[in-house]
Amino acid sequence: MTNNKSSEPAYKVKGVDLLFLQKNETPLESVLLSAIHLPSKQPRRYFDLEAMEALTASIRQKGVLQPLLVRPKGQNQYELVAGERRYRAAKEARLETVPVIIKDFSDEETFEIALVENLQREDLNPLEETEGILDLLSLKLNQSREAVISLFHVVSHPERESANNVIHSDKWKVVLEAFKIIGKFTPNSFRTNRLPLLNLPKDILEYLHQGKIEYTKAREIARIKDESQREELLTIAITEKLSLNQIKERIASIKTAVTKTKSEKSALYQNRLKAISVKAKKTKVWDDSKKTQKFDKLLAEIEKLLTEE
């Protein structure tokens, strides 16, 4: 039987196979788990609780079967490069030591490995993918995330001279090379399908950045336009661990309530307008010159309000 994994493209940095370390091409070492520290910037933030519990149970029973990749950070201290799920599960299982491969990577290589490994395993949600790729490009180009985003927008207008300048620049060559490595997007598909995710409501982005809620649930809650209603549902969804279907049911209830409220308001204002018309006819307000002037002014304001976009 053919091994399907053998046909998968390997991505290597300094000889380390990121599909991932199954071949043990580098001698393994065992180090104290307490000596391994998480990097300050990581592409992944959300970890499914049920999946983590299952992995913890497996590690508690069998140990860590696949080594972590670390880089040295001071005397007998290390920074995690890849394998955060195993690292977290090992801590939860209260292991003292774990198998590792130690390699000396730069900051750029460290982040690139973590990102590519997660992309290959499909462990990142779309927002984590987007921000991870932008942060990788920021490292490679030594520019801010905002500056990187502007490159995509400039190139999206090929008819402009500025786009032509960027397309033939060394910076854009770096971008193209990075997307060859990532292999999941083209620069254009990334711009059209991923960059818009950065425009999600701020409260949604904050909860996603904190890793408190699953992306699919947060995206559903983002459909609620009212900020207070959205914040309330976010809190309930997290504290009560609502399923995606339960969230959809709550959103449907909110929309029904909003529609009902709008219908009630519409009926109320229509009734008030009818009552005003009846009173105007009874009092013959237009026969009073003083009242007519004021009445005309109020009608003009109402007409202006109704014609405003």
What is the per-residue DSSP string for 136-187?
HHHHHHT--HHHHHHHHHHHT-TTSHHHHHHHTSHHHHHHHHHHHHH-S--H
Q: Which long-range contacts (CB under 8 A, 24 or more apart) does 85-88 make?
A: 85/47, 85/51, 85/52, 85/55, 85/123, 86/55, 86/59, 87/33, 87/36, 87/38, 88/47, 88/52
Res 260: pLDDT: 66
- pLDDT tens readout for residues 124-158: 888 888 998 999 899 889 999 999 999 999 999 88
Residue 224 burial class via C-beta count within 10 angstroms: exposed 0-12, middle 13-18, buried 19 and up: buried
Residue-level pLDDT, tens digit, the chain, 309 residues: 334 443 444 455 555 555 444 445 556 788 999 999 998 887 878 788 888 999 999 999 999 988 999 999 988 899 999 888 999 999 999 999 999 999 888 888 888 888 887 777 777 888 888 998 999 899 889 999 999 999 999 999 888 888 888 888 999 999 999 898 888 889 999 999 999 999 999 999 988 888 888 889 999 999 998 899 999 999 999 999 899 999 999 999 888 876 666 777 777 777 788 778 878 788 877 887 778 888 888 888 888 888 876
* DSSP letter string, 183-215: -S--HHHHHHHTGGGGGS-HHHHHHHHTT-S-H
Q: Are 14 and 103 in contact (CB under 8 A)?
A: yes
